[in-house]
Structure 1
Amino acid sequence: MEIKTGLNKRLTVPAGMGRFLTLKEACIRWEEIMNRNTYAVYVRVSTEKDEQISSVENQIDICRNWLERNGFVWDEQCVYKDHGISGTVFIERHAIQRILAKAKRKEIDMVIFKSISRLARDLKDSLEIREVFIAHNVRIISVEEGYDSLQAGKNDMAFELWSLFSAQYSRTLSSSVSAALAAKVRRGEHIGKIPYGYDRVDGFLQINEKEANVVRQIYSWYVNNGWGFRRITHELNRFNIPTKEKNKWQVTSVQRLIQNPIYCGDFILNQFSKVKAEGKKKQIRNPRQKWIVFKDHHVPIVSRTMWEKANSDHIKDQKHAITPWNDLRGVCKCSECGCNMVIIQSKRKLADGSKKQYNYLKCSAYRRSGEKHGCVNHYPIFYEDVRQFLIERLKEKGKSITFNFVNDMEQRKQRQIKQLQKQLKQLEMKKKNLLNVLLEKLISKEEFEEKRMELDEHIHQLEAEISELSQKEYPHKQICNVQQAFEAMDSEQRDLHQLFKTLLHEVIIHPHGKIDVVYAFAEPGGK
């Protein structure tokens, strides 16, 4: 016997079921089975403001009402939330990534959301998401627009038009906000993060004398004493002078303070902007032609003459050496704190009067904040020595490699997924046991809700990691390509960064010079 479900699927009712249930009861039972965990409810808010957080419940209620009116059984576990994430980004929205992964694994038949603006505010992302769902026979429901892909078909233009309107609204809103912020700046108000040395009172900057004295001292050390960024950083931390956030000073924070024109009374608007690349937003510096400079915008801490002297090309040429090329960037790690090892340059005067330059590898945390507040000072180890050591080790390994490199990477990925899935099962079991604890009145309802939300958040994080790993693909490559990579080290090629990143998982450098190499491939013999 066949029955038609709410998802337009024809299913055969087992013969045995008919002996115990009426046809109507059998239809209801099959409908319940099919609707359980076969849909996903997606909700999103772009900021953490109270009014938008409350709209999460509103979105859920709207979707739940549609589901129940259409004969579906409500399941709170099918709700996926992206909190405080803009609809213009895609990769960073873990909830929608998990839904897409479930769609590809045929684990859901339908996804429902309040409106297309909740799904995405970027036309390209919206169409790509829809394409994945349609390709895997997942029904799309947008309650507010009344869109149903089951009725609209694959080539319906309504979805594209609503997606276009959502994207345009986002751009229009961004322009309106920018215009409002520019108007505030023209009135002399300050926007953005409060700079060190100032307080913001009723929207206007006022000098914080205690911090301002530190700013003046930094400029004096830099201009009058000739100190560099690193020495100034160590001196500030030595005297336990806190930053605005009560953290320790770093080289970059000192550098930005000296180069920021806000300390001579100027404010720059439109210096940075955000662009979208590969589903993520990143901040870029705009060309100077786009900057809007408000001179004498507020009370300065240092004179314009002092600021210009500190930022003159003459002083920059004296203090700023060109950062040397580093083939090992992102590969070498400090054994103590896990930060990247970076190149530190040093010059020594030889007996004949000439100068020789040396490149050492040092922990980046130590470079930023010094030994007391950052990390340890590693024993001097030459960059070129480490680079040559790794080349020789890899060339030696390359002689005996007889396996498919990509297959090994795929196996590593599967092992990671298996470990994450094991952790996920443990958390889900904890969540089930938590209900028993509540029923036995060992904890209060408030404690139960708090712990449940904590477990849910952890579960969602693990699901996002599993989804991200599952989508990572390694194109098939023959072993000869890997051998060619090893042979490239015999050539005169100087740029080996990508090669090191491919063949090495990480290189751990200990304070006394010991080096541990973790390869990105299984060593011959299982070592």
Structure 2
Amino acid sequence: MRKITKIEASRPDPFSVPKMRVAAYCRVSTDSDEQLESLQAQKSHYVNYIKANSEWEYVGIYYDEGISGTKKENRQGLQRMMSDCENKKIDLIVTKSISRFARNTTDCLEMVRRLIELGVFIYFEKENINTKSMESELMLSVLSSLAESESISISENNKWAIQKRFQNGTFTISYPPYGYENIDGKMVINHEQAKIVKYIFSEALAGKGTQKIADDLNNKRIPSKRRAGWTATTIRGILKNEKYTGDVILQKTYTDSKFNRHINNGEKNKYFIQNHHEPIISHKEFETVARVIEQRAKEKGIEQRNSKYQNRYPFTSKIICSECGSTFKRRIHSSGKRKYVAWCCTKHLEDISECSMKFIRDEDIKMAFVTMINKLIFGKDFILKPLLEGLRLMSKSDNISKIEALEKEIDDNTSQKELLVKLMAKGYLEPALYNREKNELLMKKEMLTEQRDALIDDLNSELSKGQEVNNLIKYVNKAGSLKEFDDEAFDNHVEEIIVFSRQEIGFVLKSGITLRERM
């Protein structure tokens, strides 16, 4: 009898096709039970969907729950997925729709372009778009613009409803401060936490600083509201929160059209409600602590919300971490007996495992800015002037001609619709055919209008950038070689600073260009 022994292959088959590594991305915008159930359903669907394809290898599910889709920096699941794409762990991403992936057109296109550069493609189920087979970004741009418009519309509707509740006093504080709980829509005292609030106020009255109070609470292992440890900022927020007196000021912050949150310094109406809930701290004690804080600030030379204070730190809120997207905050560091100003990533300060970006020195940033400006002064003829000319040519020829062509198509569409109405009125068309043709014309007009409006926005943006370049040229023409940091020049011409590493930063100019400098 023949004996057969199988000899296992020692090398991979050169003709075999490796499986495509596929991941899915899901997101729900609130943390309600219904939304979380939807998230579970999405995750289950994609596990089965990916594993059912024999040519795909299931990599995993990335998701964000209770997170708005308007800004990519707010979504940890998305950031983790992008990181894995950078590390060559994913070939294809499957997601429900463009609005689930991003409701900000800029973010959407930026991420899609970055992923294509990495050789990673996205399949949007609802729109049936695969970025691998896209010949143009136009459709994706239009659809993501619609998603952004939808998000803005929802946001405006929510703002209107909230404003009404502000005005009639029925607004519910869904996330009460430390010391309170939300029970049946009402703020009710949490007595264990209330003891800590009273301790914080008594220590402040005794003259202790906010950092010392935070250190004491951390040493006693008393958990904060988010259980992330106490900080000076947390303590200061409690000491300045009027809710502990039983009163409420509504709309202390607001969100602009780009979904950025700002402190309301009078731009929007505020609403003051007295005796809204049971107090933990008396008005007298609260006002005394406010005076103590004010006195300590004066001793340090800090006068909040005046022009001197606001111009004191030109880099505040303008330094962005390239690793995690967080802003940098100002701190005082020591090297032996010498103290110096440094800027640190807030995410790194909170949790070093979430961001590895280390601090950069204030003096190094200022020196990098001086170097960058001096390069522009000496190189304006081959940097700024060609850029300005390019922007002028782009705005004059390309976009304007495209807008004019779209306007003509919109006019033709209107004429076709009028002809269609006349034919229907004379009985030459069946109602079903009339409705079908009319709907097709309406859809085409909507798409043409969106394209035209997008080009107009681009044109306005280019004109604005051109003006910023022109302003910068005027500045460098007048300026001699810069010897030291110029606050006014920085504020006039720089939008933000991106920190790529401790050795390299990028100045994002208001003209739209980013200039990198070594430090």
| TM-score grouping bracket, smaller chain normalisation | 0.3 to 0.5
Q: TM-score, normalised by structure 2?
A: 0.46
Q: Which has the higher contact order (CA 8 A, sep 6+)?
A: 1
